[in-house]
């Protein structure tokens, strides 16, 4: 079983942090300001998608290097990390919802609306920080 590539994981964490910083800027807007300019909505969707995909990339790298199986879906990635005691169940359930949301952005983009994205910006950005904390614990 190979060791995880710490640099690779830290590079992906940096991607998540950069996306979150951009999302936090958008989160400072009121709903009216957010919805008035399509660039806000498009930027938020892109940065959410990027951050979630980086989480999955980190998870899949750890799973591969530790020989924990082969996830069939993005959601499976977080279930495997939970079963390997890398993340707690409650967080795994949240991350699975994030993966489901990422799939909606990519495949059912016409079903994602401004208010839903704005709500995520207001209430759920800390979920990314939680994931980063768990991964940093694994690396240390």
Catalytic residue among 14, 65, 104, 107: 107
Q: Is 134 a catalytic residue?
A: no
Catalytic residue among 102, 104, 133, 134: 102
- What's the half-sphere exposure (Cβ side, CA atoms, 13 Å) at 50? 18
Report d(CA 92, CA 62) in Å as an integer: 15
Q: Is 61 a catalytic residue?
A: no
Residues with catalytic roles: 102, 107
């Amino acid at each position: 079983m190979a060791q995880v590539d710490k640099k690779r994981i830290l590079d992906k964490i940096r991607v998540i942090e950069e996306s979150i910083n951009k999302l936090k800027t958008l989160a400072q807007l009121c709903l009216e300001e957010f919805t008035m300019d399509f660039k806000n909505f498009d930027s938020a969707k892109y940065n959410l998608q990027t951050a979630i995909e980086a989480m999955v990339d980190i998870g899949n790298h750890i799973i591969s290097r530790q020989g924990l199986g082969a996830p069939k879906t993005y959601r499976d990635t977080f279930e495997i990390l939970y079963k390997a005691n890398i993340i707690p169940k409650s967080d795994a359930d949240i991350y699975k919802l994030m993966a489901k949301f990422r799939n909606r952005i990519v495949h059912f983009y016409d079903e994602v609306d401004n208010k839903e994205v704005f709500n995520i910006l207001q209430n759920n950005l800390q979920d990314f920080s939680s994931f980063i904390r768990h991964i940093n614990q694994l690396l240390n």
